Amino acid sequence: MRGFGLLLLATGCSGQVGSSVAIESGDFEGERVPEIGVTVMAWNDRMTFNAGYQERDHPALEAVASQSQFDEQVDLLSLDGSSFLDAVHSFRFGDGLHLRINESETLIKGDELQLDSNEGSDRWQLALKLGAEGLSGDTDLDDPRRGFRLPGLITAKLRIVELERDAAGQIASLDAELEVKVRRCPPSEHNPGEGEAYRPGSFVALLHLEPMSERLAEHNLKLLLGLSPLPLPDNNGFEFPGFTRNCRNNPRPPID
């Protein structure tokens, strides 16, 4: 893509520091464009906690991009109460993207990873959420499915454009192009007539990931999700509240 190449050139010349996600094109029904590039955390997931820290047999590259604004290099517990609650509020109710590439030690420049959420993939996973949409004061009916938007069926392609490793073989920086398409989930035994909750659409995003401290990234992520900041047993999970992977793994509104 010509625009993508130009942007990468500009990024390289500007001496970019830190991770970023930029939406290049696309939108969702209702004139929604995901706002996921405000704060981006990426890290090499090398360790797991099972009765003590242990090194994973195969590391993964993980990234979380969100609408929440905070300094990812600072422990969120060091913020004052108002700043902390602002970060948590925008993370939980705003847009977000979660990406994980397993066996990242085998990833090379030029790789193209394909994903269909109906089939899943052991190679990589992607979850997306579109934030809550506010109600006007004269709304007669509060449909709980409008409290937040469910992406539905996801197909995605991740193309690795540039990749650098450090002396230990861990990913030091990665540039990629991400294409995401979302369709409504058809009515089924799992989702009987929940079309109102979905926003179909698509987007292309440019990713620049520079892994930060694994410990700090996971610590802050637990705080944003409302979990204990202490090490928790590794559940190999990908289930972030509000993020959706496929039609059979959608969060449900708690109140109707």
Contact present, 130 and 97 (Cβ < 8 Å) = no
Contact present, 197 and 150 (Cβ < 8 Å) = yes
Domain ranges of the chain: 2-9+17-131+145-224
pLDDT for residue 152 is more than 80: no
- The pLDDT of residue 205 is 97
Helix (H) / strand (E) containing 88? helix 81-93
Q: Give the strand order in the sheet containing 96-101.
A: 39-49, 53-66, 96-101, 124-129
Q: Give the strand order in the sheet containing 112-116.
A: 20-28, 201-209, 171-183, 153-165, 112-116
- The pLDDT of residue 6 is 35
Contact present, 194 and 145 (Cβ < 8 Å) = yes
Over residues 33-85, the pLDDT tens digits come to 889 999 999 999 998 877 678 899 999 999 999 999 999 999 999 999 999 99
Residue 97's CB is within 10 A of a number of other CB atoms, namely 24
Mean pLDDT of 154-159: 95
Phi-psi region of 20 (alpha: psi -120 to 50; beta: other; left: phi over 0): beta
Tokens of 79: 């913020």
- The pLDDT of residue 241 is 62
Q: Reduce the DSSP state of residue 108 to 3 states and report it.
A: coil
Over residues 99-121, the pLDDT tens digits come to 999 999 999 999 999 999 888 88
Q: What is the mean pLDDT of the chain?
A: 81
Which residues partner with 220 through β-bridges? none
Helix (H) / strand (E) containing 40? strand 39-49
Distances (CA, A) of 228 to 64, 77, 145, 219: 18, 12, 29, 9
- The pLDDT of residue 246 is 65
pLDDT for residue 128 is more than 70: yes
Task: Report the residue count for the chain.
Answer: 256
Confidence of residue 199 (pLDDT cuts 50, 70, 90): confident
Top-confidence residue, 2 or 158: 158
Q: Rounded CA gap, 28 and 26, in Å? A: 7
Q: Reduce the DSSP state of residue 13 to 3 states and report it.
A: helix
- The pLDDT of residue 127 is 87
- The pLDDT of residue 228 is 75
Top-confidence residue, 140 or 44: 44
pLDDT for residue 134 is more than 90: no
pLDDT for residue 90 is more than 90: yes
The sign of the CA dihedral 33, 35, 41, 45 is: negative
Contact present, 28 and 200 (Cβ < 8 Å) = yes
Top-confidence residue, 12 or 67: 67
- The pLDDT of residue 41 is 97
Top-confidence residue, 2 or 229: 229
Tokens of 184: 């409504």
